[in-house]
Structure 1
C-alpha cells in the first residue's frame, strides 16, 4: 500500500510540474507574439490615448511581463482564469459554456471507435497475411494518413452540399438550444476516422504479439480451437496496451477537436480557442489550453490506475512490501 501511495504521489507531483511548465511556455509565447490585444477590443474604431491607457491599466498590460506572469499563476491557483478582453466575461464562464459540447464529441467518438478498433484489430490479427488483414491494415493506414480537416471538408462537400442529407455546420438549427443528432454525425465521423485507424493498427500488433506467447501454445495443446484461443486467451492480454492507448487518445481527440470544430463550426472549446487566437485574446487561449492540459493529465492518471488494476504484474509489484535499505 505504501508503494502504491508513493507511486501515485510522484505521478500527481510530476503532473502538476508539467502543468506549470505548460502555463509558463504558453504565457511567454503569447506575450512575445506580435499584435496589440487592445486592437482586438477596439478594432478600427478611433480611441483616445486616455481611453487606451485606462484599458491597459484595467487589464494589467502596463505591468512588467514577470509581474503579469506571477499574478496569472496566482490567480490560476485560486481557480481564476482571468477575463476575456474581447467578451468582457470571465474566462471560466466562457469555457464552461463550451466544455460540454467538446466533451460530447470526444466521448461519442471514443465510445464508437474503441469497440470497433478492438474488433477489427483482432480480425486483422486472426487473418494475418490474408486478404482481409490486408484490407483492414491498408484501410487503417489510408485513414490515418488523411488530414482530418481535409476529410471534414470532403464530408461537408459530399453529404451536405451535393446530397443535402446532413447540415454542414453548427450544433442545432439557428435559435434552437441544445445539440441535434444530425449535426453531430459529420464531425463525429471525421474524428472517428483518425482515432479508429491508429488504434486498430495498435490492436492488431498487440494481438499478434499475444498470440505468439508460450501460453497460447499451451492452450492450443489442450484442444482449444483457434477462435477460442483468440477470444479467451489472446485478446485479454492484447487489450493491456490498449488501456494506455485509450488514455493517450483523450489528448489526441482534444487536440484534433480544435481543427474539427473550426471546420464544422461546432461551438466547443476548440472553436473558442481558434477565435481567441485570431483576436489575440490571450486569457482565453491560456484558459482553454489549461483546461485541455488538466483533462489530459487526469486521463493519464486514471489510465495508470486502470492499468495497475488490470495488469496482474503491476498488482504483484505494488503488493510487495517496501524493503528497508538498512
Structure 2
C-alpha cells in the first residue's frame, strides 16, 4: 500500500507540473493585452512598456516561469495585478466556500444515486425503474445554469423557501448556512444524476450472479443479501464513475457560483480569466489540480479497501 501511495503521489506531482507549465505558457502569451487593460486604452507605448517592466513581463518567459515555480514551492503564488491582494490569501478566503459546496454535492450525489440506483435495480422493468431512467436522462441533458435558474424562480422567488443568491458562513448559524447552500447543491446534483444508471447496472449484474442464488438458498434474507454482499461487490464501478465526476462537479460549481453569487474559487477564477489576472488564474489552476488529485486518491484508497484485487494490483 505504501508503494502504491508513493506511485500515486509521484503521478500527482507530475500531473501538477504538466498542467501548471502548460497553463503558464498559454496565459503569459497574452501578457501585452493584460498590461494594456491595466494601464487603460489611452495609455502610450512608453507607459505600457514601463508597466510591463514593473511586472517583470519583459523578461524571457522561461525566466518568468522559473521565478514563479521558485516562489510557488514556498507557498507564494504571487499578487493579483488588479487588487494587489496576495493570491494565496485570495484563494484561502474563498476555498472553504467552494470545498463546502463540492463536498455537499458529492455526498448528496453519492447517497441519492445509490438509493435510486438500488431501487431501480430491485424493481427492474417496472414503472419506478423506467421513470427514474427517464427523469435522470432528461436532467443530464439540461444545462446546469438553466436548472439553477428554474430552482431560483420556483423555490426562492415564487415560494420564498430559500434565498435566491448569496452564501452564509457557518459562523452565521447552521440554519442560515443550510438555507443558502441547498439550491446550489441541488442544481449541481440534479445535473449529474445520470450516474444512477451505473449503480442500477452494477447492482443488476450482481443480482444475476450465481452466488446470490446460493446465498438465498442458505436462508439469508433479501435485505442481508443486498446490503451485505451485493452492494459491496457493486461499489467499485460506481466509485470509479463517481470519482470521475469530480471534474464535472468542479465545472458545475464554477457555473453555479456565478448564478447564485457565491463567493468561491469558481467565481474568482471566472473573474481572473475575464480580466486577465494571470497570477490569480495560475493560483486557481494549481489549487484545483491539487484538490482533484487528492479526491481521486481518496476514491482509489476506498476502492482498494472494498476490493482485495485492487490492493493486490
Q: Quick check: TM above 0.5?
A: yes
Matched, 1:189 2:186: yes
Q: Mapping of 1:144-159 within 5 angstroms?
A: 144-159=140-155
Change beyond 3 A, Cα 1:177–1:274: farther
Q: 2:51 maps to which residue?
A: 55
Q: 1:169 maps to which residue?
A: 165
Matched, 1:296 2:289: no
Change beyond 3 A, Cα 1:172–1:305: closer
Structure-1 separation of matches of 2:144 and 2:271: 19
Matched, 1:11 2:3: no
Q: 1:88 maps to which residue?
A: 84
Q: Could you state the TM-score of these two structures normalised by the residue count of structure 1?
A: 0.87
Q: Structure 1: state its 5+ residue gaps.
A: 319-326
Q: 1:31 maps to which residue?
A: 28
Structure-2 separation of matches of 1:7 and 1:116: 31
8 Å Cα contact 2:232/2:306 also seen in 1: no
8 Å Cα contact 1:40/1:281 also seen in 2: no
Q: Mapping of 1:244-323 within 5 angstroms?
A: 244-315=240-311, 317=312
Worse overlay, 238-247 or 205-214? 238-247
Q: 1:18, CA displacement in angstroms?
A: 1.0
Q: 1:120, CA displacement in angstroms?
A: 0.9
Alpha-carbon RMSD: 2.4
Aligned length: 310
- 1:24-71 deviations in whole A, cap 9, x for unaligned? 221122123486222343345x55666544432232111122221222
Secondary structure at the aligned position of 1:274 is classed as helix
Worse overlay, 123-132 or 164-173? 164-173
8 Å Cα contact 1:35/1:280 also seen in 2: no
Q: 1:267, CA displacement in angstroms?
A: 0.3
Change beyond 3 A, Cα 1:11–1:73: same
Worse overlay, 146-155 or 95-104? 146-155
Q: 1:88, CA displacement in angstroms?
A: 0.6
8 Å Cα contact 2:36/2:48 also seen in 1: no
Structure-2 separation of matches of 1:198 and 1:33: 39
Structure-1 separation of matches of 2:195 and 2:120: 12
Q: 1:321 maps to which residue?
A: none
8 Å Cα contact 2:167/2:177 also seen in 1: yes
Structure-2 separation of matches of 1:37 and 1:265: 25
Structure-2 separation of matches of 1:79 and 1:111: 30
Structure-2 separation of matches of 1:35 and 1:49: 11
Structure-2 separation of matches of 1:93 and 1:57: 25
Matched, 1:118 2:114: yes
Q: Structure 2: state its 5+ residue gaps.
A: none
Structure-1 separation of matches of 2:38 and 2:89: 19
Q: 1:237 maps to which residue?
A: 233
